[in-house]
Structure 1
Amino acid sequence: MKTPYSEEAIADILRKQAEWEENELAAALNGRPEEREVYETESGIKLKRVYTAADVADIPADELGFPGAFPFTRGAYPTMYRGRPWTIRQVAGFGNPEATNNRYKYMIATGQTGLSTDFDLPTLLGLDSDDPMAFGEVGRVGVAIDTIEDVDRLFDGIDLEQISVSLTINPSAWVIYAMFVAVAEQRGCDLHKLNGTLQADPLKEYVAQKEWIYPVKPAVRLLRDLIMYSTEATPKINPISLSGYHLSDVGGNAIQEIAFIMAFTIAYCEQVIDAGMDIDDFAPRLSFFFISHQDFFEQICKFRAARRVYAKIMSERFGAKKPESMRLRVHVQTAAMSLTKVEHHNNLMRTAIQALGAVLAGCQSMHTNGLDEAFAIPTEEAMKLAIRTQQIIRDEINVTSVVDPLGGSYFVESLTRDMEKEMLRVLKEVDEMGGAIKLVEEGWFQQKLADSAYAIFKKVDSGEKISVGVNRYVDETSEAAEAEIHPYDEQCTQLQVERLNAVRANRDFAHIQMLLEELKQQARTEDSNLLPKTIELVKARATLGEICGALRDVWGSYDEPMIV
């Protein structure tokens, strides 16, 4: 094993450290004891007082390597931000498609370089806006989409060949993709020039966000079909963004966020390979979505370790040959759950520090949260400040001039190695118990996340985990300040229902019923790809609810296991 350090040099460092501990350190501790007995990261990795070359002497030089080269510890690309800045991709989505379209255009004018869309709850759950279960939720936490006409309105005046589009959709992702492709075809776009990402990560829904339609295995089958179809039809669209962010959102720690998502990645890759595709044909389009949370150095090391773990999985487990198949590409969002209503202007500083960590860790695109997100959907002013946060980091403070500027730090390299070991340990455990799909069905991941969330709650409640202005440095005269709240359009539901009725009155219903029956027949076999028939349906003006409902008739719905 080749390391940058000789045995003699390490022995000399250890001898000098022992002398320092006996003299300077002992004297300091005698005069002023440290505040805590144990220092550790948020995920429980013990931290030493000081790190030296002795702590990284057993790390092979090849494990660090160079940016853009296996195992990609130091970055996904050789030049990183010198060659191309990360994409500023602020999420938008509320009300009717026109409202979100107006927000898109405002954010593009402010300097955003990629679009990202949130969808409302009915759309996520495969329901039309006039479904009784959609009452009160239409357009509330995202944009309402019922038909291909809504997608056309959503991107009105936007050149789909020129801007990257991210679609935060999971259970009904294949339908939204079909609508997006159909709209692009109607406009005469070259599908090979469409650039963007679907979230489309079903397993994380069952363990974190809890937005599902079908049982686990059929949902994974839909993703398989989406990956296989999009690889040929729209080769620049990432068919999935594996979403560790949401695992963290429900209390998962940094190790769980990466290890669980890597377990899901393995499961998805196995499904696609079993269906006949080579890993190098689709792995280059896999993408990832992670959080940049509060433990600054742990988060930086998390991303560095994740790149290394992913590269090894693709190379050693699946036999990938292309470098782009082993390159972990990451979209990052700052931690919405860290934001507070009390002294909410503090959220600006929280977000800026988290964003800086994501940049130092080497992200490919980023969303920074608005300072008012603890209250509601961000206002335009809050979104502008969030974009300015990224622009200041990118253009003012000169952190983009050097690739992986923290690389070689004794602490950073040691913590990166420790996190990698923990991630691989969890992956081995998942393998030994039967794999990710089985453990999702049994509720294993759900239980682990619930246990982690409870541990965090206890630390916050006791004051061990500090939230400035909330449980430390509390201004007793201050309450949660009022913030300008983004308004909800009370006419949103009525407009969507009127549009649905107009579409239904001007289409060939018998033709749609025939296509829906054909979709059901295909769903009863494992070897059919459901995307071509779905695209036919959306072009014929079938609604999202009709398409999703047809497959619910075949596969049934999901029942969550009891977690105790």
Structure 2
Amino acid sequence: MAEKKITTSSGIEIKEVYTQAPSPQNELPGEFPFTRGIQKDMYRGKPWTMRQYAGFSTAEESNKRYHYLLNQGTMGLSVAFDLPTQIGYDSDHDLAEGEVGKVGVAIDSLKDMEILFEGIDLQKITTSMTINATAATLLAMYIALAKKQGADLKQISGTIQNDILKEYAARGTYIYPPRQSMRLITDVFEYCSKEVPKWNTISISGYHIREAGSTAVQELAFTLANGKAYLMAALQKGLDINVFSKRLSFFFNCHNNFFEEIAKFRAARRMWAHITQELGATDAGAQKLRFHTQTGGSTLTAQQPLNNIVRITNQAMAAVLGGTQSLHTNGYDEALSLPTEAAAKVALRTQQIIAFESGVTDTVDPLAGSYFVESLTDEMQAAAQLYIDKIDAMGGSVKAIEQDYIQQEIAKAAYQYQSNIENGEQVVVGVNRFTQQEEKEIELFRVDDSIRLKQMERLKVLKAGRNQAAVDEALSNLRLAAMGDDNLMPRILDAVENYATLGEIADTLRNVFGEY
């Protein structure tokens, strides 16, 4: 009987034994093409940023969780927004019913942002915001709050996800058509390069592509292809690649296949260095792929949830060995609900134990030179390049998304993965093997629907107390700018500072751009 072929989750065949490394092994960390890491000393200098993703209910409740996480030793904040905020609806909109504060925090205006960060000095912390269609508005609120705190805008730092292409391809929280969405994104690039130079203006996200069911190779390829599309859009706007490319960041998933994930991160850095160089980047800072990693939400199981602690640890270790710049570890209960405080603490402690007890941070890229890891890095690169070449031939990511190519490829991979679980080819401990009848109940976290009423009341009070004439003028100026080609960020910032709501700003743009 022929021996069964063993492959990675992307279908790359794994040999029984590796006896030589494929490519020349003279690369150094911190040097082009950065396969071994973007810093010469990596974690010997300082560990990755432990950035726990949190946000739910009202701004007050999320603010309490942020203070809790900061007290437990988290190094940066990462904000989750609720669905209405993500798609440009205020909490009192009919379509917001049942969704307010559920998958993140409800932010309707600058007033909510002020409460969200109460007692937190924005100049001393870095904040990541997972927001896309309404990214320009939420960033404007953050800038407005920093100004109110008296911060030097040249010093505030953080990241706005601002990656709309993967929304069309994998996630769905888009508002406007692709061309108008790309305009908003490049307006943010341009504005921040002058006004908020330390801000990462986009986090090009493979995470959601992977969560939608892609393979590791597809996640790598589609993310870099999207990154390339953003580079081209910014170049067409006349921006300098050696300036704006330094502020691009990436966001990857870390899934279960330990060595495949490490190879994916190493290949990603090498490939991005070549992509940026080919498009004219000569500055090393503009060629480096900097990325945040989150452990794989879709790998978590509702059955035997404590098993998830082991999965998350395995994934976090792979992300660290792959050279991530920041990391979020999921809560073990997230297949069932938003994480409880206890689960959030275990998730953070997981990172702290890896950083301070395991020894993996003592040397840079400790797996370099492994016959297997070096071979797999090359094979991941080759497989991803085939996809990128195909997307380039279609005219780039926007065209490939419009032709439904990327969506179809992800759907096929998702179907295959699920089939493999159902036929037992892919073992999931506690789900299709080593199962048990009785599941012990664990404490779950629930968000009450009544918070919508609180948000609606706050909106009523806000609108009664603001200068309505100033709001009307700011929204009228935004509409006129949207009809022309001026940068929209100053207009959005003006509207936000006059306490126009997120929904009012999104509606103003909807009326000019239309909806997709």
C-alpha offsets along residues 367-388 of structure 1, whole Å, 9 cap, x if unaligned? 0011100111000000000011
Structure 1 length-normalised TM: 0.90
Report the equivalent of 1:14: none
C-alpha offsets along residues 262-301 of structure 1, whole Å, 9 cap, x if unaligned? 1111111111111111100100110011011001000000
Counterpart of 1:191 in 2: which secondary structure?
coil
Report the equivalent of 1:509: 468
Report the equivalent of 1:44: 11
Report the equivalent of 2:150: 188
Q: Contact conserved, 1:66 with 1:74, CA < 8 A, in 2?
A: yes
Matches within 5 A, 1:2-13: none
Report the equivalent of 1:424: 385
Match of 2:493 among 535, 560, 564: 535
Residue 382 in structure 1 maps to residue 343 in structure 2: yes
Counterpart of 1:490 in 2: which secondary structure?
coil
- The whole-number CA distance in structure 2 between the counterparts of 1:218 and 1:45 is 38
Report the equivalent of 1:451: 412
Residue 300 in structure 1 maps to residue 262 in structure 2: yes
Q: Contact conserved, 1:192 with 1:234, CA < 8 A, in 2?
A: yes
The residue type paired with residue 87 of structure 2 is L
- The whole-number CA distance in structure 2 between the counterparts of 1:391 and 1:519 is 46
Match of 1:478 among 415, 426, 438: 438
Residue 546 in structure 1 maps to residue 513 in structure 2: no
Superposition deviation, residue 490 in structure 1: 3.3
Report the equivalent of 2:253: 291
Superposition deviation, residue 61 in structure 1: 4.2
C-alpha offsets along residues 289-334 of structure 1, whole Å, 9 cap, x if unaligned? 1011001000000000000000000112x11111111111110011
- The whole-number CA distance in structure 1 between the counterparts of 2:348 and 2:394 is 44
The residue type paired with residue 536 of structure 1 is D
Q: How many residues align?
A: 516
Superposition deviation, residue 92 in structure 1: 0.6
Match of 2:208 among 246, 258, 273: 246
Match of 2:303 among 342, 347, 359: 342
Report the equivalent of 1:264: 226
Q: Contact conserved, 1:231 with 1:282, CA < 8 A, in 2?
A: yes
- The whole-number CA distance in structure 2 between the counterparts of 1:384 and 1:220 is 38
Q: Contact conserved, 2:157 with 2:198, CA < 8 A, in 1?
A: yes
Matches within 5 A, 1:5-404: 37-53=4-20, 55-56=21-22, 59-61=23-25, 65-316=27-278, 318-404=279-365
- The whole-number CA distance in structure 1 between the counterparts of 2:486 and 2:44 is 44
The residue type paired with residue 402 of structure 1 is T
- The whole-number CA distance in structure 2 between the counterparts of 1:61 and 1:348 is 35
Structure 2 spans left out of the alignment, 5+ residues:
none
Counterpart of 1:89 in 2: which secondary structure?
strand
Counterpart of 2:239 in 1: which secondary structure?
coil
Residue 520 in structure 1 maps to residue 479 in structure 2: yes
Residue 435 in structure 1 maps to residue 406 in structure 2: no
- The whole-number CA distance in structure 2 between the counterparts of 1:105 and 1:229 is 30
Q: Contact conserved, 1:375 with 1:483, CA < 8 A, in 2?
A: no
- The whole-number CA distance in structure 1 between the counterparts of 2:53 and 2:109 is 21
Match of 1:493 among 452, 465, 473: 452
Percent identity over the alignment is 47
- The whole-number CA distance in structure 2 between the counterparts of 1:511 and 1:192 is 28
- The whole-number CA distance in structure 2 between the counterparts of 1:61 and 1:337 is 35
Structure 2 length-normalised TM: 0.98
The residue type paired with residue 116 of structure 1 is S
